[in-house]
Structure 1
Amino acid sequence: MKEKLVLVVWVMLCAVSAKAQFWVGPKVGGQLMTPRYHNEARLDSFNTSSKVNWHAGIAFDYSTKSNFEVHTELVYMRVNNRSRSTEAYETPLSEGGYGGQFVDSRTINHYISAPLMARLVFFKDSKIKLLAQLGPRLSYWLGGTGTLRTDEIYGFGDEEANYNVKFMDLTEEELANTDIPGKFIVSKPNRLQYALDFGFGAIFEFSPTSRAIVDLKYSFGHSFLAFNEGNVLSDAFIYEEDTEYHTNMLVLSVSYMYGYDVMLRRKGRSTSKVKTKRR
């Protein structure tokens, strides 16, 4: 029974691959993060902004003779975030404010990211095709850096505090007694993060084995970056970096793909065998 099942699966794979084409190539682009914070009251205390950052890696496509394709990629992604205090936060608590100090926090985080997209291709027989795509994204948080400016730091005689993210598995007691200057200790990170991507794009076909793709995606982050109760920044006593946010991103990418056609490859082998026999 097992042998028959293996044979059926093998025949099905051969039938599909005979009509399939595999694509691989470099991919580069930029992304703009729009974080969605869990604590909505934070909007009254901080203005959040982000600059366009970049990503680069390798993309893989699997296409058939139908309008359906599967896309995945493995890219390095750099994402930044900036929070600046509002007038309300800079107003002391005694005067009806939220904090009483100026804050300018800038962070840069690094990821390895891999979406898996189902694609629907329109105008399949045209040199310029349109596509719609949808699928999940997995991202692994490698680490990060940050720069913090506050009135508190100015009071110590420094202009700013620079730090690196350090992941540590600590208990609450150990975390409370941890003091490492220049490090942002994160003991409850979500290093493997989930998102749902959807978007549109265009395929420019130059030949049966080469094409360029431009695509625009929006990524809805599902996971927090980290839980706040597991964080310690030794260079700041009053301000606490808020890491409970979802990483939503607008992603624009360009890739150049090289194709491998299984059917053409087999035809080439058959032709070479015939020529060999004739000789």
Structure 2
Amino acid sequence: MRARLASVFILIFLSYKAYTQVLVGPVAGFNYSWTSFGDKDLKSQYRVTPVMGYHIGGHLAFKVRKRFFLHTSLIYSTKGKDMTRRGKDVSNDPEGLALKLKYNYIEMPLVYTAYFKGTIGTKSFKYSLGIGPNVSYWLGGKGTFENGDTHEFHGGDSYVIPVKIKFGKDPATAQETDMVIQHPNRIQLGLNFTAGFLFEPARDREMVLTLRYELGHSYLSRESNGVFGPEFRSFSETQKIRNQGFRISLAYLIDLKVEERKKGKSTIDRRRPK
């Protein structure tokens, strides 16, 4: 899978001359994300609340046809969730739970986008709709954990235990602050649905505002639960969950003038036959 991901990058960056217009620039924005259970029964037991995150990186846009562009980015992003057990008070109920986690990712969305013209009074603008896959590489994560055991065995400010996600570690050697996932699915796929607006503040400059909904396809792990440190092994978190969320991004793009460099160049071989 990693080789395939690398191949996609190589094809995009080395074949850009095939496109009539290429734009490049930074992109950044905010995420509003959560996770969804693969097991429907767990949805009735736990309440999952979205959390805020961010993303930042580089963006490329390629003109494919008259109004169609291929947009792609290489970004660092944070996602996560805030999960509690329904109907249980974490401070005095043995089955109470409060788990807050933030995940870190390197991501590459690929979105095929169609642009349309609009007007407000005498002002013209462009808006877009798009769809395409999202490829994510899971770097890790951290958060806090609180349940009946933390209140029973800890006191003072230590009711809330900091946790850090560890991949591939033996749960028997886990520390109190570890959440071990032995067989994580670190390369994850999803599907993007986008809507956006394009503004041109200056010649050969574009600002692209995009709202994206990401529908996760891959589980974080099919084989392993998240196992906590030795004092809290009475609880383990299922990893048959998928990331979902909304993202708002602003990209500032510069036209590389590929189309102008192609003008005047002929593809006819003018060499005389021998």
Q: TM-score, normalised by structure 1?
A: 0.79
* Alignment check: 8 A CA contact 2:194 2:213 kept: yes
- Specify the SS of the correspondent of 1:130: strand
Counterpart of 2:217 in structure 1 is 222
The code of the aligned residue for 2:43 comes to L
Alpha-carbon distance between aligned partners in 2 of 1:16 and 1:142, rounded to the nearest angstrom: 33
Q: Note the 1:1-279 alignment, pairs <5 A.
A: 16-17=18-19, 20-64=20-64, 66-87=66-87, 100-123=94-117, 128-157=125-154, 158-168=158-168, 175=171, 177-227=172-222, 229-234=224-229, 235-265=231-261
* Alignment check: 8 A CA contact 2:48 2:83 kept: yes
Instruction: Report Cα offsets for 1:214-265 as digits up to 9, x if no partner.
Output: 1111111001112363532114122222321111111111111011122323
- Specify the SS of the correspondent of 2:175: coil
The code of the aligned residue for 1:29 comes to G
Alpha-carbon distance between aligned partners in 2 of 1:31 and 1:14, rounded to the nearest angstrom: 29
Counterpart of 2:3 in structure 1 is none
Alpha-carbon distance between aligned partners in 1 of 2:18 and 2:66, rounded to the nearest angstrom: 11
- Specify the SS of the correspondent of 1:180: coil
After superposition, the Cα gap between the structure-2 partners of 1:262 and 1:168, relative to the gap in structure 1 and judged at 3 Å, is: same
Instruction: Report Cα offsets for 1:95-119 as digits up to 9, x if no partner.
Output: xxxx842211110110001011111
Alpha-carbon distance between aligned partners in 2 of 1:81 and 1:262, rounded to the nearest angstrom: 43
Aligned-pair identity in percent equals: 23
Counterpart of 2:268 in structure 1 is none
Relative to total residues, which structure has the larger helix share, 1 or 2?
1
The code of the aligned residue for 2:60 comes to F
- Residue 184 of structure 1 deviates from its aligned partner by 1.1
Q: Which has the larger radius of gyration?
A: 1
Give the number of aligned pairs.
243
Counterpart of 2:9 in structure 1 is none
* Alignment check: 8 A CA contact 2:94 2:148 kept: no
- Residue 154 of structure 1 deviates from its aligned partner by 1.3
The code of the aligned residue for 2:44 comes to D
Runs of at least 5 residues in structure 2 that lack an aligned partner in the other structure:
1-14, 266-274
Runs of 4+ in structure 1 over 3 Å off: 13-17, 124-127, 227-231, 265-269
The code of the aligned residue for 1:115 comes to P
The code of the aligned residue for 2:51 comes to K
* Alignment check: 8 A CA contact 1:113 1:137 kept: yes
The code of the aligned residue for 1:114 comes to M
The code of the aligned residue for 1:134 comes to I
Instruction: Tell me the C-alpha RMSD between the 2 structures.
Output: 2.7
* Alignment check: 8 A CA contact 2:88 2:95 kept: no
Instruction: Report Cα offsets for 1:99-147 as digits up to 9, x if no partner.
Output: 8422111101100010111111112999511111110000000000121
The code of the aligned residue for 1:52 comes to M
Runs of at least 5 residues in structure 1 that lack an aligned partner in the other structure:
1-12, 93-98, 270-279
Alpha-carbon distance between aligned partners in 2 of 1:163 and 1:221, rounded to the nearest angstrom: 24
Name which of structure 1's ranges 230-239 and 247-256 shifts more when overlaid on structure 2.
Answer: 230-239
